[in-house]
Every structure is written in structure tokens, then in C-alpha cells.
Amino acid sequence: HLLERERGKRSMRFAVKRYLGRSLAANLHRAQRDYSLARLLRQIPDLREYVPRTVRLLVPEKGIRAPGILISDLTENGRYFVVSGGLFTTSLEMPIKKGELDAVVNEIKRIRDIGKNNGVTLLWDAFLLQFTPERKFVKAWIGDFGGVNFDFK
């Protein structure tokens, strides 16, 4: 879902991830966990640039039925399309040109290594992959926080 919000003279778009299918308490817990993970990741200088700039917690209140998180619109108003890293690795039909596959894999491995050096395990499905309409790889974002784990020692 996309949400558009007026701020001053410019319009901003956000993606909304809702947590459904379980009890309200369990869904709220999942939303709070993902929001907290995003905030922690943004505090790690080496990973900050890979986390969407805006991540906000949405709690059930007026007009909001289910908990969720609001994140920056990575399509940048339709300029790009975004694919889940988990879907990318399991899809039979790759959404990109074959020549771009190496760039995607190398970038994800590089970011995962940065995470590992900072005590963070990043699964493939933690990534959202940004592409041009011509299917050229642009950037890998850490945006599905269910695939993020901190290695506290």
C-alpha cells in the first residue's frame, strides 16, 4: 500500500506494511520489533545508507485498524520498481536482465559482510531490490526487517 502525505509544498509517498492474521498483541509486537530493528540499523554508520530514511511505527488508533510500519517509497514515485530479495532468490522468472544478476548478488554479499562485521545477520529476504524500468539494478535496501538478527555477545 502507498500513502501520500502533504508536507509543505511537496507531496511525499510512503509504503505501508501491515501486520495481519494473528492477534492484535502479536501483530503489534511484530511491528514494534521491525521498527526497533530499523532504528538500531540506522545507528550503525556502515549500514545506515542501506536502510530507508523514513521508518515509522503505526499503532491502531483513529483510522488505523492494524499495526504496521510506514517506510520511504523506494519506487520514488514510480521511477523504480522494487522486488523482495526473498522473491528474487526463489523466482523462476528473474525480473532482471541476466547481466545484472552478478551485480545484485555481489552487492547483497557485500552488505551482508558489512552487517556481519557489525554483529548483524542479514538474510536474503531482508533485502528490497530497486531496479529501473529497463531492469537495471540500482540499489539493495535493508527493508524487510524480519530477515534481520543482531548477534549479541
Q: What is the pLDDT of residue 101?
A: 83
The identity of residue 71, as a single letter, is I
- Whether the CB-CB separation of 125 and 108 falls below 8 Å is answered with no
Confidence of residue 148 (pLDDT cuts 50, 70, 90): very high
The identity of residue 120, as a single letter, is V
Taking only the tens place, the pLDDT of each residue in 39-89 is 999 999 999 999 998 888 888 776 667 888 888 888 888 888 888 876 554
Nearest alpha carbon to residue 56 among 64, 23, 85, 149: 64
Q: Report DSSP state, residue 78.
A: T
Q: What is the pLDDT of residue 24?
A: 85
Task: Indicate whether this model's pTM tops 0.85.
Answer: no
Taking only the tens place, the pLDDT of each residue in 105-138 is 899 999 999 999 999 999 988 999 888 888 889 9
Mean pLDDT on 27-47: 92
